[in-house]
Chain A
């Protein structure tokens, strides 16, 4: 079953601006991950944040996790046209070899 809900569903920004995407989930998690998917292509793993972590950075990406609100956000700073893609959050109920539950995704368009 799908439990993640992202908002906004679609986001259009100018190059250089920051993009913020939010994700909410319903059940307890071990970790939450963000993926990027270019149109018609496979998934690219961006970042993983564990349930005992509150914030994580990777390059221009910043992810926060609020387990009390069961929500996460992905911030992409100084966006580029190449960041245009769909972004999905995915949660894992336990570590290791368990399936991920994906959110509905946010379609980001960065206009040059």
Chain B
């Protein structure tokens, strides 16, 4: 099966700083990737759809200026949490589709102090 890799798997940052999370499709090209957020003991919520070469589509209630998404190549999408605050602490997971199936990254746990 296809592999989606996320980096970093864990990151701790100070309040007010920005953090970038990378999502890579290792052995296939992904024109579309999806970013999810999961708070502790809750389910995954779709944040945005990342489109290669164009602007991301954000779900209602997700601030596009706070969660910057860049899909500059067919194998890489990045999510930047700008001016992070403790309430942004969460588990961020990306996924990408290949041959009709979605593959998920291992997730990135962000802790904002």
Contacts and interface: CB of A to CB of B under 8 A. Distances in A.
A2 B97 contact: no
A97 B32 contact: yes
Interface of chain B, main secondary structure: strand
A27 B95 CA distance: 22
B34 interface: yes
B43 A102 contact: yes
B100 A41 contact: no
B45 interface: yes
A88 B44 contact: yes
Interface residues of B, number: 26
Interface in B4-21: none
Contacts of B36: 102
Which of the listed residues B34, B44, B100, B107 has the most CB atoms from chain A within 10 Å of its own CB?
Answer: B44
Q: Chain A's interface: helix, strand, loop or mixed, by majority?
A: loop
A40 interface: yes
Contacts, number: 54
Contacts of A103: 43
A29 to B, nearest CB: 14
Contacts of A40: 91, 109
A69 to B, nearest CB: 21
A43 B34 contact: no
Given A95-B100, A97-B32, A99-B34, A41 B43 contact: no
B42 interface: yes
A85 interface: no
Contacts of A48: 101
B106 A96 contact: no
Contacts of A90: 44
A88 B104 contact: no
Nearest 4 CB-CB pairs, A to B? A97-B97, A42-B106, A102-B44, A99-B34
7 contacts: A1-B60, A96-B97, A100-B95, A101-B46, A102-B44, A102-B45, A104-B42
Interface of B: 31-32, 34, 36, 41-46, 49, 59-60, 91, 93, 95-97, 100-102, 104-107, 109
